[in-house]
Amino acid sequence: MADTGTVRTGPDFRSDNTGAAHPKVLEALIAANRDTATSYGLDDWSKRVQERFAELFERRVRVWPVATGTSANALALAASAPSHGAIYCADIAHVHTSETNAAGFFSGGARLMLMPATHGRFSAETLEQTIAAAGVGLSHRSQPATVTLTQATDLGVVWTPDEVRAVSAVAKRHKLTVHMDGARLANALARLGCTPAEITWKAGVDILSFGMTKNGGMLCDAIVVFDEAVAPALNFHLRRAGQIWSKGRFASAQLLAYVEDGLWLELARRSNALAARIDAGLRGAPGVRLAAPVEINEVFVNAAPELLDALERDGIRYSRRARDYARFVTRCDGTEAEIAQLLAAFARHAAHA
Amino acid sequence: MADTGTVRTGPDFRSDNTGAAHPKVLEALIAANRDTATSYGLDDWSKRVQERFAELFERRVRVWPVATGTSANALALAASAPSHGAIYCADIAHVHTSETNAAGFFSGGARLMLMPATHGRFSAETLEQTIAAAGVGLSHRSQPATVTLTQATDLGVVWTPDEVRAVSAVAKRHKLTVHMDGARLANALARLGCTPAEITWKAGVDILSFGMTKNGGMLCDAIVVFDEAVAPALNFHLRRAGQIWSKGRFASAQLLAYVEDGLWLELARRSNALAARIDAGLRGAPGVRLAAPVEINEVFVNAAPELLDALERDGIRYSRRARDYARFVTRCDGTEAEIAQLLAAFARHAAHA
Amino acid sequence: MADTGTVRTGPDFRSDNTGAAHPKVLEALIAANRDTATSYGLDDWSKRVQERFAELFERRVRVWPVATGTSANALALAASAPSHGAIYCADIAHVHTSETNAAGFFSGGARLMLMPATHGRFSAETLEQTIAAAGVGLSHRSQPATVTLTQATDLGVVWTPDEVRAVSAVAKRHKLTVHMDGARLANALARLGCTPAEITWKAGVDILSFGMTKNGGMLCDAIVVFDEAVAPALNFHLRRAGQIWSKGRFASAQLLAYVEDGLWLELARRSNALAARIDAGLRGAPGVRLAAPVEINEVFVNAAPELLDALERDGIRYSRRARDYARFVTRCDGTEAEIAQLLAAFARHAAHA
Amino acid sequence: MADTGTVRTGPDFRSDNTGAAHPKVLEALIAANRDTATSYGLDDWSKRVQERFAELFERRVRVWPVATGTSANALALAASAPSHGAIYCADIAHVHTSETNAAGFFSGGARLMLMPATHGRFSAETLEQTIAAAGVGLSHRSQPATVTLTQATDLGVVWTPDEVRAVSAVAKRHKLTVHMDGARLANALARLGCTPAEITWKAGVDILSFGMTKNGGMLCDAIVVFDEAVAPALNFHLRRAGQIWSKGRFASAQLLAYVEDGLWLELARRSNALAARIDAGLRGAPGVRLAAPVEINEVFVNAAPELLDALERDGIRYSRRARDYARFVTRCDGTEAEIAQLLAAFARHAAHA
């Protein structure tokens, strides 16, 4: 993932984690910065997070703030997969491509088993067949333990509640835990229009990596546990992993601000809308092909190398993934002007390509 | 560590991590919250941290922001101790008493070996004898790998440069890595009056857990590597541990604000001075005995159970460690009035004890 | 791998590990069973193993007897791959399909990365391309550490010295360690007619799992280290893994008997020859297709389910891997009569199929 | 543990693992070496081991043959202690002094917590107090998981059923698993005269390392599981640890021979009796003091350095643990003549000391 940012003046579509934190997140930190508070997550803000997320998800949940999405994923997966376990994921899943060996490390050896997927979504049938071939009960085979879905996928495509439910049904029939990597959960929800409950535990999800950083957050994501039986020792795991902040109120305050008054969904709608404008703008552009449907805030494009080179020369910053393949991510703090600049550049160079 | 905080109105001496973050730390976050920045620690703030800490420590260093002191310690220790290694520490070291099994977990099995120590400081001779009895080269014995010193110790006592140097000399003769857990490094420096360099690498320290949270910080500590050979793969370890924030600028900005214009030392002097006032106020108090010399911002007290009970009833919040034993920690955001209240309560009840 | 052995009277082609130990292996145990001997591998037999294998491989080597092939593979791979490492293997490699999560467990998280292969052999080009796409130096990616070749492959096909050398050249250019899983090394050598040195270190292999069990052995395999730099702490790893027998002479005596006077190659020639007879006998058999060339002591067959069912009814024991797919393994203690029985059964039922 | 064996002609008291295997163990291997057998522990011998040990222990058990005592201990402890767990043991326990970091490695970080003990036996009160101070439920503390007793202890002293029961009662009250390291179980039983059941599960032991090697065994020990709930995934752990031999019959045959007709107890009585002779012979010897009561086949002696030096010069082989401290171990294949030689040497040199 080459960084195209030598010219720093152009619009920035490299990722949604290059953006700023939303001002309300910072205001929440300032508001929390008074008096003393019990340390290690026993403060009032951390208690409020539990209540607030219970409302949000329409049931009792256990929320654990953590530093990063990788730690959320790895600790959630390790909570359910033993060291001899298999964790099933899409062939392009972030846990496979972009988190070093975190899941295997935290679980003491559990393996990610890749399944063929279309734009990062695999079918219930694929999971069923994979488990059928796994050798359940045979001691020389990795034992099916967990299935993880990335919502939205790493190609920016959204799992519907029905699709999640179909996969979960297979998982539960075989006693697997269902994990959702919700690094872009808000964007998925903004797209789907369903409730957080509908896309998670009501569809069979047991444990969720709740992403915030990419959508106006700052230094905090979270693990949300729906079925406490899947992660009874998570407090010990987190403390041992150095993921329980002593000044926990400053983590919880971020999470509270993020979901207050639907801020998270509002922000996701904003970045999704910007991507939709790119989508619309590129339709019919000569020499440009979308590599996946644009459903959230990511646009994957196949285009002539010369065209992509020209964009770089113009100072457009984006993620060049191959000579003829690129990712453009919109941010909740992105602007219409940036989109216009990008589309104009595309138009200008496509004409010559 | 019972939380005495049911009455919330009294002064709070439970810990220095119950306090607020210094306003300048928050201002730095606000200042950093503009434009976009390259993610995963390749931003300008993170680069400045490297330069700024190089000045601070008077040599090239590698600084890795991490979420907590536990993660700093565990990752630093795991970087130097293999899974068959032994890590030598004081019998009361925080890594032993308060970090679950973090060091053993991150290293894949390395063991903490406790050494007798006075107020948390062990002698070079003790280390020498311990290594001599370890069975170097014998495959059935844990192999000496690392020695860790807590600065200041968990009884609030400070290692002098000479003391660190004596231990390091033994360590280096036996090819051990020297780690310093600097959770209260600023308080120790404020006490010693020496430079950061003098108490760390100039005294033989190879890798440092740089604490910030307890002294006006918020959500960030750091690992500082002096000898890169001891931790060549730390970037992979950190990423895999979920300890590389994607919006790294917000971590680095905290560290920059913390050391800017000597803020960290100023804050440490403040909390140290408050503890010194308690120390002075308790001298000669009937029925009260200091369990360790007061050198930084912690006061350990042996007193009659009735006296300690009475303090609790008065709403004084502190860490009651046994019926007749308690810890009082002063904070950089503590006040003279709180100290006066504490001393008055002691005086009031000691008279009756 | 269903066990077809309900009828116990028929010939047994289930695996080469169902067979007996060669009498000379037992005689060696009896001969070693006198007097006392220094424990934990410091006995005379263990010293002789080092010398004998040095002759065998025409260079200084370090031999570590271990209990099983899985422990040999896992400890050898873990010696070279750090917890953030990637281990490249063929898509059908035994380390992937049949050793639970051993490599990931012993390495603290290193991942097996599957490469497309023909009959278990992958090309140097495939390895080159895989490494090129791995993201060397990027902390969010598993880092290339080790490549492992199975000799012979899990489809009974042999790597030539030239093929091994080509893969090793790529590996060394990228600083990867080259491991060979030699569970059937003797069978491969019997086929190739080259020296042990030519197929291992002279072709670039750094560390070898030396299989003995399947070829007339009993309870012992070994790790052979050619480049000690790849495994400097292996003695600690083995002891910690419970793989250093206190009465080590009884392990070393087995290894000595196995290679004495070329016994291992003689035995391998025997089982290879039996498989060659099956190969010859099945050529032209109607409805029977070999799934891979028969180069050692394994015959992989595609055949009509009815035909395979009929063999089972006849009491022929073999490994039924799918309705129309089966593996037949010949043993060094197998007999011509068994082969004749198998071929007669095939002929009998194929005529009706 | 210096090896005194440069002169190879003298009697050998270095350890019981320097001795030969009992001829019946070898005969059993020869008897098992016919026909084919299903691999990986599904053979008839392995089934008989389950039945035979069920009789021996007077209840249903699950027996897992393993290569060494270290692997038995480490896998048994890891089965019950999670990565954030604490394992309580005597201050001189073999798992602490002589198994590198095996328990921590296999458990992913669980810690051995040493308890003060007399000759390796700790009291129920000591365990009770240790657990009381452990911080159960506090996420920053290692959580009590397992207690392990060495039978006999590493100073050759035996736990009585009452003593085991008292410790188990405390353990069970706090939901700890009780493990017994029975490396010298037979010697303890020979001393106690009780049944295997009485000293294990009837006294509260959940899981046992069943030692055989030191008492006439060869290459095999075992894990015996009384309460399967403590180790439900042990088959996967063992396979993943490379501890399931493919030719399992040769391991099980050793175990069967060992317990057949009470051979194990007969052998233990023999070595115990030889040690008792040393004990009797040294009583009243000038300058010689027993460091622990002689209850099994080990004699720990404090004596003048000159006396110990003189024994070495005479070619007596033993384990010199300090200038004035030594261990003498008798073997089931030891002889009266060796004892006489040792006692004569003691007498000769003590007279001059």
Q: Which of A7, A245, A317 has the most B C-beta neighbours within 10 Å, making it the best mutation to test the interface with B?
A: A245
- For residue B95, the chain A residue with the least C-alpha distance is A240
Nearest chain C alpha carbon to D332: C36
pLDDT of residue D316: 97
Question: Residue D228: what pLDDT?
Answer: 86
Least confident stretch, A282-286, A302-306, B299-303: A282-286
Closest partner residue to D140 (CB to CB) among B98, B138, B143 is: B98
Distance (Å) from the alpha carbon of B194 to chain D's nearest alpha carbon:
33
Probe site for chain A from B30, B246, B254 (most A CB atoms < 10 A): B246
Q: Each residue of A24-78: pLDDT tens digit?
A: 999 999 999 999 999 999 999 999 999 999 999 999 999 999 999 999 999 999 9
- Cα R_g (chain A), whole angstroms: 21
Of A5-14, A302-311, B127-136, B251-260, the least confident: A5-14
Question: Is A244–B219 a contact, with Cβ atoms under 8 angstroms apart?
Answer: no
**DSSP bridge pairs for D288:** D303
pLDDT band of residue B38 (cuts 50, 70, 90) is very high
> What is the edge-to-edge ordering of all strands in the sheet holding C221-225?
C62-66, C221-225, C207-210, C177-182, C143-150, C85-90, C111-115
CA distance C51 to chain A (A): 34
Please give the Cα distance from B315 to B326 (Å, whole number). 15
d(CA D317, CA D280): 20
Which of C139, C236, C244 is nearest residue B236 as measured by Cβ atoms?
C139
For residue A58, what are its two tokens?
A: 């329409």
| D307 and B CB contact within 8 Å | no
Contacts across the C-D interface (CB distance below 8 Å): 172
β partners of residue C85: C143
Average pLDDT, chain D: 95
CA distance C253 to chain D (A): 12
- Judged by CB atoms closer than 8 Å, whether chains meet at D139 and B100 is answered as yes
Distance from CA of D142 to the nearest CA of A (A): 9
Contact assignment for C100 to A1 by CB distance below 8 Å: no
Tokens of D295: 């209850």
- Enumerate the residues of chain A whose CB falls inside 8 A of the CB of residue D84: 233, 236-237, 239-240
Which pLDDT band holds residue D351 (cuts at 50, 70, 90)? confident
What's residue B353's pLDDT?
A: 59
The gap between the terminal CA atoms of chain C, to the nearest Å, is: 24
Q: Nearest by CB to C219, which of D20, D239, D245?
A: D245
For residues D204 and D169, the answer to whether their CB atoms sit within 8 Å is yes
Any chain A CB within 8 A of the CB of D240?
yes
* Contact yes or no for D351/D344 (Cβ under 8 A): no
Q: Which two tokens stand for residue B47?
A: 């680069």
Question: Per residue in D34-65, is it b (16+ CB within 10 Å) or e — as a string?
Answer: eebbbbbbebebbeebeebbeebbeeebbbbb
pTM of the prediction? 0.96
Shortest distance, CA C38 to any CA of chain D (angstroms): 6
User: Does residue D317 surpass a pLDDT of 90?
Assistant: yes
C63: amino acid identity, one letter: V
Q: In chain B, what residues touch D1 (CB-CB under 8 Å)?
A: 138
**Cα(A78)–Cα(D175) distance, rounded to whole angstroms?**
24
B-D CB pairs within 8 A amount to 64
Min Cα separation A246/chain C (Å)? 27
Q: B83 and D98: CB-CB below 8 Å?
A: no
What is the token pair recorded at D230? 């403590």
Q: Is the dihedral of CA C323, C327, C328, C333 positive or negative?
A: negative
Residues of chain C with pLDDT under 70: 1-8, 353
Task: Examine the pLDDT at B3 and tell me if it is beyond 90.
Answer: no
* D100, D111, D138 member nearest B84 (Cβ): D100
Q: What is the pLDDT at residue B4?
A: 40
What percent of chain A has pLDDT above 90? 93
CA atoms of D107 and D112, how far apart (whole Å): 11
Tell me the residue ranges of DSSP E strands in C69-165.
85-90, 111-115, 143-150
Contacts of B99 in chain A (CB under 8 A): 239-240, 242
The answer, yes or no, to whether residue D282 has pLDDT greater than 70, is yes
* Angle, helices C44-57/C249-259, rounded to nearest 10 degrees: 30
> What residues 217-236 of chain B have any CB closer than 8 A to a CB of chain C?
233, 235-236
Query: Which chains touch B (3+ CB pairs under 8 A)?
Result: A, C, D
Q: How confident is the model at residue B8 (pLDDT cuts 50, 70, 90)?
A: low
Task: With CA atoms as reference, report the closest residue to A231 among A72, A96, A119.
Answer: A72
- Number of residues in chain D: 353
Q: Where are the alpha helices (DSSP H) in chain A?
A: 23-32, 44-57, 69-80, 94-97, 102-107, 124-132, 161-173, 185-192, 196-199, 234-240, 249-259, 263-282, 305-313, 336-352
* Structure token digits, residue C68: 């099983």
Residue C41 token pair? 């591998």
Overall average pLDDT of the D63-86 stretch:
98
The mean pLDDT value for D302-316 works out to 96
Least Cα separation, residue B352 to chain A (angstroms): 30
* Chains with at least 3 CB pairs less than 8 angstroms from chain A: B, C, D
In Å, how far is B90's CA from the nearest CA of chain A? 20
Q: Do C236 and B40 touch (CB under 8 A)?
A: no
What pLDDT shows up at residue A353? 59
* A255 touching chain B per CB within 8 A: no
> Mean pLDDT in chain A?
95
Taking residues A270-291, report their average pLDDT: 95
HSE-CB of B79 using CA atoms within 13 angstroms: 33
Q: Which amino acid is at D191?
A: R
Mean pLDDT lowest for which of B310-314, B315-319, C285-289?
C285-289
**pLDDT given for residue D8 in this prediction:** 52
| Model pLDDT, residue A2 | 39
Q: Give me the interface pTM, i.e. the ipTM.
A: 0.95
**Cα–Cα distance between B97 and B79 in angstroms, integer?**
21
pLDDT tens figures, D200-247: 999 999 999 999 999 999 999 999 999 989 889 999 999 999 999 999
B245/A38 touch (CB, cutoff 8 Å), yes or no: no
In chain C, the percentage of residues whose pLDDT exceeds 70 is 97
Mutate to test the interface with B, among C46, C84, C136, C143 (most CBs of B within 10 A): C84
Supply the mean pLDDT for chain C.
Answer: 95
**Among B17, B66, B239, whose Cβ lies nearest the Cβ of A100?**
B239
- State the chains in contact with C (3 or more Cβ–Cβ pairs under 8 Å): A, B, D
Q: How confident is the model at residue D353 (pLDDT cuts 50, 70, 90)?
A: low
Note whether C98 contacts D: Cβ–Cβ < 8 A.
Answer: no
Contact A242 B241 (CB under 8 A): yes
CB-based contact D121:D148 (threshold 8 Å): no
- Provide the b/e sequence for A196-210 (b: ≥16 CB within 10 Å): bbbbbbbbbbbbbbb
Whole-number Å distance between alpha carbons of A216 and A30 = 17
* Set of chain B residues whose Cβ sits within 8 Å of the Cβ of A218: 29, 247, 250
Nearest alpha carbon to residue A331 among A10, A97, A5, A12: A12
D 56-85 residues inside an 8 A Cβ radius of B: 83-85
Q: How confident is the model at residue A350 (pLDDT cuts 50, 70, 90)?
A: confident
CB contact under 8 A, B99 and D140: yes
Select from A108, A139, A237 the Cβ nearest to the Cβ of D84.
Answer: A237
pLDDT 10s digits, A132-177: 999 999 999 999 999 999 999 999 999 999 999 999 999 999 999 9
